[in-house]
Amino acid sequence: MPEMSIVFNDINKSQGVFTRRAFLMGGLTALGLFALGGRLAHLEIVQGGKYSRMSAGNQFNFRVIPPPRGDILDRNGKLIAGNRPSFRVMIETNEIKDINSTLDQVSYILPQTVTSRRRILRDINQNQRSVPTLIAGDLSWEDFSKVSLYANDIPGLVADMDQVRAYYYGGAFSHVVGYVSKINAKDLEAEEKKPEADLNLLHHPSFRMGKQGIEKALDTVLRGTAGGKKMEVDANGRAVGEDSEGSRAPVAGQDVTLTLDADLQQRAVDVFGSDSGAAVMMDVHTGEVLCMSSTPGFDPNLFVSGIPSKTFKLLNEYERRPLLDKALSGTYPPGSTFKCLVAMAALEAGIPETTRHTCGGVFPYGNHVFRCDGVHGNLDMHGAIVTSCDVYFYNMAVAVGPDKIAEVARKFGLGQIFDIGIDGQKPGVVPDKAWKKEYFEKRGRPAEGRWWPGDTPSIGIGQGFTNINCLQNCVSVTRIANGRKVVMPHLIKAIGGKAVNYPEFADLSVAPSHIDMVRAAMADVVTSGTAARSGKLDLGPIVMAGKTGTAQSHTYKDGARATLHLDWERRDHAWFIAFAPADKPKYAMSVIVQHGGWGASSAAPKAREIMRLALIKDPEVRQRIVGPVKDTFDPAALKAAEAEAATHPVDIPVAPTETTAGATPPPA
Partner 1 sequence: MVQSALSRPGQRERYDSKIGQIDWVFVTLLAMLAGIGALIQYSVGGMSWEPWAYSQLRNFALFLAMALVLAVVDLRFWLWLAYPSYAVSLILLILVELIGDTRMGAQRWLEFGPISFQPSEFMKLAIVLALARFYHERKPEDANWSFWLLVPALMIAVPSALVMHQPDLGTGMLILLTGGAVMVLAGLNWKAIAGAGLMGAISVPLAYFFVLHDYQRNRILTFLNPEGDPSGEGYHILQSKIAMGSGGLLGKGLGLGSQSQLNFLPEKHTDFIMAAVSEELGMVGGAMVLLLSGTIIIMALRMAALSHSHFGRLAASGAIATYACYVLINGAMVMGLFPVVGIPMPLVSYGGSVMLTVMAGFGLILGVKVHRYQELPKQSSMLANLME
> DSSP string covering 301-331, please?
HHHHS---HHHHHHHHH-TT-TTS-TTTT-E
C-alpha of 197 from chain center: 24
- Cβ distance 544 to 611 under 8 Å? yes
In the complex, least distance from residue 155 CB atom to partner 1, rounded to whole angstroms: 14
Say how far apart CA 157 and CA 132 lie, in whole Å.
9
Say how far apart CA 217 and CA 197 lie, in whole Å.
17
Cis ω before 581 (30° cut-off from 0):
yes
In the complex, least distance from residue 42 CB atom to partner 1, rounded to whole angstroms: 9
- Cβ distance 655 to 461 under 8 Å? no
Say how far apart CA 466 and CA 625 lie, in whole Å.
39
In the complex, least distance from residue 231 CB atom to partner 1, rounded to whole angstroms: 11
In the complex, least distance from residue 31 CB atom to partner 1, rounded to whole angstroms: 10
**CB atoms closer than 10 angstroms to residue 118:** 8
Our CB check for partner 1 shows the closer of 1 and 663 to be: 1
Tell me the backbone φ, ψ of residue 191, rounded to 5 degrees: -65, -35
In the complex, least distance from residue 22 CB atom to partner 1, rounded to whole angstroms: 5
Our CB check for partner 1 shows the closer of 94 and 664 to be: 94
Q: Which amino acid is located at 326 in the chain?
A: K
Say how far apart CA 287 and CA 482 lie, in whole Å.
10
Our CB check for partner 1 shows the closer of 53 and 313 to be: 53
In the complex, least distance from residue 10 CB atom to partner 1, rounded to whole angstroms: 5
- Cβ distance 160 to 119 under 8 Å? no
Our CB check for partner 1 shows the closer of 26 and 635 to be: 26
In the complex, least distance from residue 39 CB atom to partner 1, rounded to whole angstroms: 5
- Cβ distance 625 to 306 under 8 Å? no
Strand pairing category for 357-359 and 377-379: antiparallel
- Cβ distance 281 to 587 under 8 Å? yes
Say how far apart CA 228 and CA 200 lie, in whole Å.
9
Question: What DSSP element (H or E) covers 209?
Answer: strand 209-210
Our CB check for partner 1 shows the closer of 26 and 273 to be: 26
In the complex, least distance from residue 29 CB atom to partner 1, rounded to whole angstroms: 5
Q: Which residues pair with 495 in a beta bridge?
A: 256, 498
In the complex, least distance from residue 50 CB atom to partner 1, rounded to whole angstroms: 7
What DSSP state is assigned to residue 194? S
- Cβ distance 284 to 587 under 8 Å? yes
Our CB check for partner 1 shows the closer of 29 and 126 to be: 29
Strand pairing category for 209-210 and 180-181: antiparallel
Our CB check for partner 1 shows the closer of 41 and 190 to be: 41
Our CB check for partner 1 shows the closer of 4 and 643 to be: 4
- Count Cβ neighbours within 10 Å for each residue of 175-190 and write b for 16 or more, e otherwise: bbbbbbbbbeeebbee
Our CB check for partner 1 shows the closer of 11 and 197 to be: 11
Our CB check for partner 1 shows the closer of 16 and 540 to be: 16
Our CB check for partner 1 shows the closer of 22 and 197 to be: 22
Strand pairing category for 79-91 and 256-258: unpaired
In the complex, least distance from residue 53 CB atom to partner 1, rounded to whole angstroms: 8
Tell me the backbone φ, ψ of residue 3, rounded to 5 degrees: -65, -30
What DSSP state is assigned to residue 647? T
Say how far apart CA 511 and CA 457 lie, in whole Å.
25
Say how far apart CA 534 and CA 650 lie, in whole Å.
11
In the complex, least distance from residue 8 CB atom to partner 1, rounded to whole angstroms: 8
Our CB check for partner 1 shows the closer of 236 and 378 to be: 236
Our CB check for partner 1 shows the closer of 238 and 536 to be: 238
- List alpha helices for 352-448, DSSP H: 381-387, 390-400, 402-411, 433-442
Question: What DSSP element (H or E) covers 223?
Answer: helix 219-223
- Count Cβ neighbours within 10 Å for each residue of 352-362 and write b for 16 or more, e otherwise: ebebebebeeb
Q: Which residues pair with 225 in a beta bridge?
A: 251
Our CB check for partner 1 shows the closer of 223 and 229 to be: 229
Our CB check for partner 1 shows the closer of 234 and 634 to be: 234
In the complex, least distance from residue 246 CB atom to partner 1, rounded to whole angstroms: 14
Say how far apart CA 335 and CA 571 lie, in whole Å.
14
- Cβ distance 87 to 138 under 8 Å? yes
User: How far is residue 510 from each of residues 383, 385, 411, 637, measured CA to CA in Å?
Assistant: 22, 19, 9, 40
Our CB check for partner 1 shows the closer of 8 and 568 to be: 8
Q: How many CA atoms lie within 13 A of 330 on its CB side?
A: 27
| Contacts to partner 1 by CB under 8 A | 1, 3-4, 7, 10-11, 13-15, 17-19, 21-23, 25-26, 29-30, 32-33, 36-37, 39-41, 43-45, 47-48, 50-52, 54-56, 58-59, 232-236, 240
In the complex, least distance from residue 64 CB atom to partner 1, rounded to whole angstroms: 21
In the complex, least distance from residue 156 CB atom to partner 1, rounded to whole angstroms: 16
In the complex, least distance from residue 51 CB atom to partner 1, rounded to whole angstroms: 2
Q: Which amino acid is located at 199 in the chain?
A: L
In the complex, least distance from residue 150 CB atom to partner 1, rounded to whole angstroms: 23
